[in-house]
Chains A and B, each alone.
Chain A
Amino acid sequence: MADILFYASLILIWMMLLYHMFLMQGGYHHFKTFEKVIPQWRKNMVDLPTVSVFIPAHNEEIVIEQTLKAMARLYYPKDKLEIIVINDNSSDRTGDIATLYAEKYPFIKVIETIGQNKGKGKSSALNDALQRTDSEVIVVYDADNTPERMAVWYLVMGLVNDPKAGAVVGKFRVTNAQATWLTRFINIETICFQWMAQGGRWSWFKVATIPGTNFAIRRSIMKALGGWDVKALAEDTELTVRVYDLGYHIRFFPAAITWEQEPETLTVWWRQRTRWARGNQYVVLKFLSQFFKLNRKRIIFDLFYFFFTYFLFFFGVIVSNALFITNLFYNIHLSVGNVALVLWGLAFLLFLAEVMITLSIEKTQMNRKNFFNVILMYFTYSQMWIVLVLYALILETKRVILQQEVRWYKTERFEKKRRDIQ
């Protein structure tokens, strides 16, 4: 019995690790190649589409100013660009600050959510703006984002040159990476996520996930999809699935770079990640139940990936940990020999190697300090995920059983500015 459990968890865990190893290879390949098309694509950037940049903002007075500063610097023909700050039921000075910028820059506009879209969360705010604009391309940034000058231009470049791309997503960097231990870990984590999950999947399967910020999507698609799903906690994942189902792909184009803030305290991190985990669990359950109805099978793979991440992999990890602890106190007669130890060592090395590649890709990130951070991260930050996913699973189960309404938790901002746009 213990043997069967052990092998089951071993298989589950290693399927996941192998998949990531495979993604890492793809991510590295994508890094080596994604820039090659730029000189050619640049030539096609003549008849540019009109762009609306949506910035949903709910009580963002701390960060909105620097966000708008960055927006003002964006490289894009200003006659074809509009920045829409969607002030969603803010009770602070968000609206005032945004209005100041709107007065100063003609292409920046502030709208207030109205009617049923008011105060319902990010999806509703975006839907509201969708109804009130008519540009060809929609770009979304979170209110704490400070995109680099070329970001929108590159996002649009992807759409212009790749007609099959329903959306183009860029990469993001962390503004407050050096603020706390937590942000150091998150910084490493996001870099890994982008090059493995985004870069790797794009390279192998032409699949990427809309990350909620720093992406461009065709209005025609948003229309066809009928806007954002207001019930989804992770509206981005949900949107991703539907874009693929419509027959388009989502291109990961890391030339478009934005900077964003990450939670500096554990409480904030915990709430934000719980929302993500619950959101993704919601998506998995929503679409797995309509498994055969999905038109584009490619995305099924991705759903399966989430299913693996949030259900099977965690089952494996928890069982394996339980066996390990039980084995300390009671001989459960595991028959597997040294190979299990070797695999454990390899798993750790693999983790190190993968993280170090992605850090090396991000040039200055691969330093001695981060090397030790990575090791420390394995034993601390990575392990916190286990508890978090369990917690999210319990909440989500409770929600389904009690039929509770979803509440959008807005990530708390921290007053820290990017030096280059002050």
Chain B
Amino acid sequence: MYFKIAALISLMIFSGWIFSWDTASATNEKPTILFIYTSERDQVDENVHMLDATFSAFAAKQHVVSAESFKSELMQGTDMVVFVGDYEMALPSHLINAIDRYEGEIIVIGYNVNQFKTFSEWQFQEEVEIGSLGNTSLFVAMSLIDVIPPKGSEVIEVGKRFDAQHPYIVKNGRLTYIASSAFESDQKYALSKRMHKIMGVEEPTVHPAYIRLEDISPVSDYKLVQETGDYLADRGIPFYLAVIPVYVNNENGEKIYMKSNRKLVKVLRNLQNRGGIIIGHGYTHSYRYEETGEGFEFWDDQLNQKITTERTDTLPEPLPTRESFRSINDYNRFMDKIDVIEKGYIETKHRKAIEELTDIELYPLAFEAPHYTMSSTGYKITSNYFNSVFGQVQLSDEDWEIMDAPLFVSSPAILSGMTLYPETIGYANPQLEDPLQVAKDSVKRLKDIPGSMVGGFYHPYLGLEHLQEMLDLMYSVGTIEWLDLREEDQLVQTDQVKIHQQANGVLTVKSARTTWKRLVENSVEKPFEAVLWGLSVVVLLFIIAFFIYIVNLRAALKKRLFRERDFSG
């Protein structure tokens, strides 16, 4: 592949602002974690996903495997084993043996712990229902495995039932036990709060933070984008611009391309130069002629299933359930076919989004799925194009509403190696009495969680009305450090475009997209318009020829006058 250097931009960022990633990991070497889980029918559920995500934030590398697929060789080179018993079952003996032989740190969460000899000194009793975790009352009561740890154990966190306390997180030397694998909102905050202690690393005093200007599409008001972007840039905040390159009119399917809104492109380029970082927010942010910004793009929200067809005019059949197939093999064969369609669809969208943004000198450094929805296969495909994802993660391939984000920058296995910059506080919602109420509640809780990300977004169409308030809210969490992707290694690529952001601030963009190629592409996209342009050229050539004739005729005027006299006698 021959790349042409399209742009080389060196970035001098904000004098006086020195980046230092002040998490404990900066001083401690992060461990390599082997993350083993049990779950019903081997299916990873949201608890496992979220625990995976949360632990991955503390790992240099994390390998995720189910108990059934576990192989003893995986223990090699592992600094720490995290075992999540999300489902009660008899563990394979080679797994039990391997864990029992293992001499490194082990963290066990939930069920099946009594099968390990390593934990023989611990007493595991019946489950107990508790009403609060730490100092927080639970919205929904949860059950803990009632554990009596050996003497000398440190109880890091407790659950309470009336006045009775039950250990939630207990640490004893190299062994840690967490008495439930449930990981809903309350548990997320409770566990995340103690993660540094569990991992034995120092608690940071700084929160990473980011603010994203959301849903900037070709029909966005460039003045408002400029206003909000400049406001952040003026304050030296590196900020993010979630850009949708194509607007689809849901009434007639008409497409408006970003390049046709020159004013907005100019504003975005300018903001990019001023510290704004472009995030590819899908290609159209719509599917089946839904309005851009409203519709889903990588998930069929009408059927609540993954994308199964590129046709948008009719509703396809809902995906059949596993039960309607005679064997798992039949089912898998069927799903493989669907996955090919989904793959083609998503690849096209990513390719177009990245290439079309690059064409107009906007260089996306990360991806954000529209409405954060995408299947696990979708994330896998996405990882071929992007390194980083913003927002939350859809945790189920059956239901888009099962989505969440850990509180730390992490790289959960479901993202196939991509880094997740979680959105944790939501956005200014003018429909609420207090547009920032949800964000305020979140920030309140994040204050207690060392090193947690404060990530939120803001719609530029609101103008400046709630922006300062939102910033103030973010600052109120404590010390924050604005996340700057230009201080990290990022690679965004397609077959024709390679955007490489180096940690030293140098951005290299290579594009094999010549004007001719783009012209051809446009023609395929809008064949009729291309024909009309072709027509224009032909007509123009004729007009030029005609004017040459006129000049010729004028030049020969006298000669002709005489000649006609000859012929007319």
Residues of A within 8 A of B (CB): 3, 7, 10, 14, 17-18, 21, 24-25, 28, 35, 38, 75, 148-150, 255, 257, 333, 335-337, 339-340, 342-343, 346, 349-350, 353-354, 356-357, 360-361, 363, 366
Contact = CB atoms under 8 A, between A and B. Distances in A.
Contact of B543 (A35, A336, A346): A346
A333 B252 contact: yes
19 contacts: A3-B254, A7-B528, A10-B532, A18-B539, A25-B545, A35-B567, A333-B249, A333-B254, A335-B254, A342-B536, A343-B532, A346-B539, A350-B542, A353-B547, A360-B550, A360-B554, A361-B553, A363-B557, A366-B554
B441 interface: no
B561 interface: yes
Nearest to A352: B543
Contacts of A356: 546-547, 550
The majority secondary structure among interface residues of chain A is helix
A150 B565 CA distance: 11
The majority secondary structure among interface residues of chain B is helix
B154 interface: no
Given A149-B569, A346-B539, A35 B529 contact: no
A339 B529 CA distance: 7
A342 B539 CA distance: 11
A375 to B, nearest CB: 15
Task: Give 6 closest A-B pairs by Cβ, nearest first.
Answer: A353-B546, A360-B553, A335-B254, A339-B532, A346-B539, A353-B543
B260 interface: yes
Contacts of A28: 546, 549
Contacts of B545: 25
B535 interface: yes
In this complex, the member of A148, A339, A361 whose beta carbon has the largest number of chain B beta carbons within 10 angstroms is A339
Interface in B539-569: 539-540, 542-543, 545-547, 549-550, 553-554, 557, 560-561, 563-564, 567-569
A273 to B, nearest CB: 27
A342 B260 CA distance: 16
Contacts of A75: 569
Nearest to B552: A360
B533 interface: yes
Contacts of B546: 24, 28, 350, 353-354, 356-357
A333 B553 CA distance: 46
Nearest to B546: A353
A61 to B, nearest CB: 29
B40 interface: no
B292 to A, nearest CB: 15
A360 B555 CA distance: 10
B563 A35 contact: yes
B254 A357 contact: no
Contacts of B567: 35, 38, 150, 255
Contacts of A24: 542, 546
A223 to B, nearest CB: 32
B251 interface: yes
A148 to B, nearest CB: 6
Contacts of A333: 249, 251-252, 254
Contacts of B532: 10, 336, 339-340, 343
Contact of A150 (B549, B553, B569): B569
B253 to A, nearest CB: 9
Contacts of A3: 252, 254
Contact of B535 (A25, A343, A366): A343
Contacts of A353: 542-543, 546-547, 550
Contact of B536 (A38, A336, A343): A343
A349 B543 contact: yes
A363 B568 CA distance: 15
